[in-house]
Structure 1
């Protein structure tokens, strides 16, 4: 169920968002409804009427697969509805099936008039967002072709061509461009059924069924039962969020997409962290993610999409606007952290599995990623990984990528080149892990020594430049003039995970993050409350993110901060229980003392991959601390 109360169905890279009665109305904004595939809406209207009226919902549609709902025409206590409509809806690889069964409740036969209003606008997902942007399409054409069993909608723009076909069984009695109609006879206490199938045919590639979910993961039975249930729900959601991708040799892979509704595609940072959280339980996910990201690694310079040699992609899009370069996101590289995280995961995969064959296969990709960090990434010139705000893409290019997220205590956005603190931790960890691979797997001791020296120098600089003596806490970032961006932010907790802090500084960060202004009782907030920029319903300036807390939890375990880890795990587990064991992308920042239950963030993606994997990271952190 989406935060707006709509129903979400997803499988094989295809998803549908429906109303409680199973309808699609063509809405836009934070949670648009429709049938979606490859960043386009292939159904924008799907509204059923019976005898001229919209039936009443007795049992709303659900997120189960298939989704079922129960509807009736109007009735009263003395004149109950003559029939009941049972609806069963499901999605698969590029298709949507709606089974409508009408049951006569009375002893005499009756005839009903059924109509389905339908349309396909083929809107790109970037058009559906509520950001007031317009994308000209002077040569675009919509087509409609009537068929005996339904209708076909088409969309053309130059060589771009997408279609949606709708077929009905039995065939409609009447077919028009936007409406199918039937006269159905229901025998006494009998029934009739319609089976409606919409098939999406996107430009470029057809949807294909993806491999069955992985085998059952063995989880420790001694863990908190609620945490284990959240882990199982997370694994179920991750199975649904798989999308196809190509590897470095063209092999077909499945990888975790970031989330729904906006991010059902490969994302560098999201897929890497999700894979890291899953590594002890499903190492194949990490292998696939690394191969898919290596295949899209930057090879040349393209300022429009931020591509640079060796840089790991931020996101991959398949929609019309990306294809025609009206947005830079076809392959967008605007991320400061995906490249070091790629190296972190590669090293962690070898350490966890003992299998070095993947590291051997990706040696040249790893070397290119290190080269990017040292050159275009800024480590040599600036001493740190930096990014420059991108006016056509992302202003901020760390995980807090909304405009204004990297701010001073007065709320002013930092100006670039910006060095965010957590990216320096990732870079340190990437250098250390890659040095180990260089020495032990690639047998290049000289390069390993240079990487280790670079990592040690980075660690020393970081303590000197980022630690705020007055706050006894790391700065969120350094701006382009080297000034400390002094707002107190959760990003400091990522430094525990990467190990860039020495033990005393790490312990001080751990304790500070569990103080009431940071810790809501459910999770650690993105910004400590009480600061001018703090807002409990801001995306990155006061909300609380499960994945952010998962990274911090792993860091708390690394630094031996058991009490803090137990408090954080308890809060997140309680939040999961209150969300039906499915943690959403983000929670509102209101404290447990302010409201007895978790306040939802109104625009959260759910399910989202790294939130789904968060309970597994908590489980790993607990095991490491035991």
Structure 2
């Protein structure tokens, strides 16, 4: 069974993540360990004092890459009920490993003497072994200059410490004999080497952090933590270290994912054009060139995921480079357009025009595999993802009665993405003096066809179906997918308004974000991965769409729900959480196997900031628009140092939503 993650302490700096109990101990249970890339190096790191484990009383995660754990040493110190000796375990994760400081503190009347012991083990288990709930045998360490080393192939891990070290079978034992009068500090470090890893730390770029103040401190706490997490998730290809992208999420998806990395970069605009450019170029280098049913590759198609080796879990067998995604290609075009609007230099945009042409070739031709005028997917290999939209679990596409749709499947939101890609590409190409090759006519034909085939009427209302199934029947469930159509241009204003009202209704709007499926539908479960849970990025995409379609009140209301939910997760929004509504629980409950942090969940906080400012930018036209919701959903809001067009934007919004102060970079004017 897949291990659970919700109760673990997690610290990371890409490509390393440490997952432990909240007492700081790493016991090798489930997912606990130090993972570097897709391998778990350390599977055990347990600290005892005189054979006793510290009694945990609390832990903190002050930053994405840090954890502090406090435990009592009740067998030491003065007699009586008050503890007088304790241990604080300070953990710092680096891109190449971890360093821990064990701080013994005493307020006892007399000095105490004790033996501190650290037991370490390593199994180098692959991520698919861990995710399947299986285990691997520990490796045998060997002594080397400077410490003790485990190795497997070219991958190695060396432990260095200021304590005495012995090797006992598959374990390393570190001992310190100490005398504590006030405090004593002990240290150990693990350093990983992995010369063949496909990805390296994205240290060429650190995300800028504008100063944000708001009356609602919950929002600033969420934003601060999200920016810290997003920064810690940055990776780059070994051969192109300057082209950073966001690894999708720790620990299961700590690598390049086309859809996830694209949405993370798009939601994070305007925070980092470097992240947008790096993501675009990294995926462009892997763009499909030929047809291969085994990998899903096709000319012009954008990659789904890339790992060190193939990935086999839960009956799937995915190759190291896998193209099983129906939406990443259009999302790549969308990010290119948005990045251009936010100020990506023209030279960088022009360098990607051949990739844009190739992507449009796939969108307008190859994505429609059966000639019905819609993009659809079908796993030809029989070993890949059965569903290839963002809801990619096997049971994600259901009719309103709960019946699972049969492939090939044409998803509603994918048609919106493709319409938007064609229209935005035409605008971009025209602005650069390039031919548009009938893109607008193609898009208008799709728009007309979508309106005639997708809309359904049920007891929930009139709305676009989730999809068309293999028999071209509308899959009539009411889902969050229709919210992704907002802002794409596929809908007219009346249709957008109608969908906005449905999304904010009680069946979809849980009080803590947007449910993936209406609570009125068959197959709904608040603890289903894609059929009733709440995904922060999904909610943020819809908030963004509501903002772009002029529904600022709905956008503010839905965005405020995410702010309210974040505190239940220490402001580190997970991949997803349960879809229980606020009428059922006082705070959202976890989806227990959810990744934390997740790149597009972290980037969602930036989209909330953009929405709460009512901010739209068109750098090529020199125009910045600010139209905040009224009243402001987080009270008075002040932003200083938001990067924009080689300068910064400073703005203050009053509690009533009025812009009271604005400073723009030279060359930009308020529209």
Structure 1 residue 331 displacement after superposition: 1.5
Structure 1 residue 422 displacement after superposition: 0.2
Structure 1 residue 375 displacement after superposition: 3.4
Structure 1 residue 305 displacement after superposition: 2.1
Say yes or no: does 1:541 pair with 2:567.
no
2:122/2:138 contact within 8 Å kept? no
Structure 1 residue 575 displacement after superposition: 1.6
- Structure 2: distance between partners of 1:530 and 1:584: 25
Instruction: Identify if the C-alpha distance between structure 1 residues 387 and 380 changes in structure 2 by more than 3 Å, giving closer, same or farther.
Output: closer
Residue of structure 1 equivalent to 2:186? 194
SS at structure 1 position matched to 2:102: strand
Structure 1 residue 104 displacement after superposition: 5.5
Q: Quick one: which of 258, 270, 277 aligns to 1:287? A: 277
Say yes or no: does 1:6 pair with 2:8.
yes
- Structure 2: distance between partners of 1:613 and 1:409: 31
C-alpha offsets along residues 545-572 of structure 1, whole Å, 9 cap, x if unaligned?
1211111112222332233223212222
2:39/2:125 contact within 8 Å kept? yes
Q: Which moved more, 1:102-111 or 1:481-490?
A: 102-111
Residue of structure 2 equivalent to 1:431? 422
Residue of structure 1 equivalent to 2:453? 465
Residue of structure 2 equivalent to 1:85? 87
Residue of structure 2 equivalent to 1:239? 231
Residue of structure 2 equivalent to 1:94? 96
SS at structure 2 position matched to 1:120: strand
- Structure 2: distance between partners of 1:251 and 1:113: 44
Residue of structure 2 equivalent to 1:146? 143
Structure 1 residue 192 displacement after superposition: 4.4
- Structure 2: distance between partners of 1:186 and 1:58: 23
C-alpha offsets along residues 469-506 of structure 1, whole Å, 9 cap, x if unaligned?
44411110001111111111110111113120122222
Q: Quick one: which of 400, 412, 415 aligns to 2:391? A: 400
Residue of structure 1 equivalent to 2:172? 179
Structure 1 residue 594 displacement after superposition: 1.8
Q: How does 1:571-586 map to 2 (within 5 A)?
A: 571-586=561-576
Residue of structure 2 equivalent to 1:591? 581
Q: CA RMSD in A?
A: 2.8
Residue of structure 2 equivalent to 1:40? 39
Instruction: Identify if the C-alpha distance between structure 1 residues 418 and 100 changes in structure 2 by more than 3 Å, giving closer, same or farther.
Output: same
Q: Quick one: which of 479, 484, 491 aligns to 1:494? A: 484
Instruction: Identify if the C-alpha distance between structure 1 residues 56 and 232 changes in structure 2 by more than 3 Å, giving closer, same or farther.
Output: closer
Q: Which runs of 5+ in 2 are unaligned?
A: 616-626, 629-671
C-alpha offsets along residues 245-267 of structure 1, whole Å, 9 cap, x if unaligned?
368xx453221111122112121
Q: Quick one: which of 560, 563, 579 aligns to 2:553? A: 563
SS at structure 2 position matched to 1:172: strand
Say yes or no: does 1:121 pair with 2:123.
yes
Instruction: Identify if the C-alpha distance between structure 1 residues 368 and 178 changes in structure 2 by more than 3 Å, giving closer, same or farther.
Output: same
- Structure 2: distance between partners of 1:412 and 1:125: 32
C-alpha offsets along residues 69-107 of structure 1, whole Å, 9 cap, x if unaligned?
233434385387784333221110211112223346556
Instruction: Identify if the C-alpha distance between structure 1 residues 208 and 582 changes in structure 2 by more than 3 Å, giving closer, same or farther.
Output: closer
SS at structure 2 position matched to 1:123: strand
Q: How does 1:445-464 map to 2 (within 5 A)?
A: 448-464=436-452
Q: How does 1:22-421 map to 2 (within 5 A)?
A: 22-28=24-30, 32-60=31-59, 62=61, 64=63, 65-75=65-75, 77-78=79-80, 83-103=85-105, 106=108, 111-130=113-132, 142-147=139-144, 150-155=147-152, 160-172=153-165, 177-182=170-175, 184-186=177-179, 189=181, 191-202=183-194, 204-205=196-197, 210-211=203-204, 213-217=206-210, 226-245=218-237, 250=240, 252-319=242-309, 327-353=317-343, 355-378=345-368, 381-389=371-379, 391-421=382-412
Structure 1 residue 437 displacement after superposition: 2.2
- Structure 1: distance between partners of 2:350 and 2:238: 19
Instruction: Identify if the C-alpha distance between structure 1 residues 104 and 522 changes in structure 2 by more than 3 Å, giving closer, same or farther.
Output: closer
2:166/2:172 contact within 8 Å kept? no
Structure 1 residue 59 displacement after superposition: 3.6
SS at structure 2 position matched to 1:455: helix
1:148/1:172 contact within 8 Å kept? no
Structure 1 residue 340 displacement after superposition: 0.4
- Structure 2: distance between partners of 1:38 and 1:196: 21
Structure 1 residue 183 displacement after superposition: 5.1
Instruction: Identify if the C-alpha distance between structure 1 residues 175 and 149 changes in structure 2 by more than 3 Å, giving closer, same or farther.
Output: farther
Q: TM-score of the superposition, structure 2-length normalised? A: 0.83
- Structure 1: distance between partners of 2:280 and 2:392: 22
Say yes or no: does 1:532 pair with 2:522.
yes
Instruction: Identify if the C-alpha distance between structure 1 residues 5 and 475 changes in structure 2 by more than 3 Å, giving closer, same or farther.
Output: same
Structure 1 residue 197 displacement after superposition: 1.1
Q: Quick one: which of 598, 601, 611 aligns to 1:621? A: 611
C-alpha offsets along residues 34-69 of structure 1, whole Å, 9 cap, x if unaligned?
111111101011112222232322443545454222
More strand, by proportion: 2
- Structure 2: distance between partners of 1:71 and 1:241: 29
- Structure 2: distance between partners of 1:345 and 1:611: 17
C-alpha offsets along residues 590-614 of structure 1, whole Å, 9 cap, x if unaligned?
1112222222222222221111121
Matched residue count: 604
- Structure 2: distance between partners of 1:523 and 1:109: 54
Q: Quick one: which of 470, 473, 482 aligns to 1:483? A: 473
Instruction: Identify if the C-alpha distance between structure 1 residues 400 and 382 changes in structure 2 by more than 3 Å, giving closer, same or farther.
Output: same
Instruction: Identify if the C-alpha distance between structure 1 residues 116 and 226 changes in structure 2 by more than 3 Å, giving closer, same or farther.
Output: closer
Q: Which moved more, 1:75-84 or 1:280-289?
A: 75-84
C-alpha offsets along residues 207-250 of structure 1, whole Å, 9 cap, x if unaligned?
5571462333265x678654344233321221111112368xx4
2:536/2:604 contact within 8 Å kept? yes
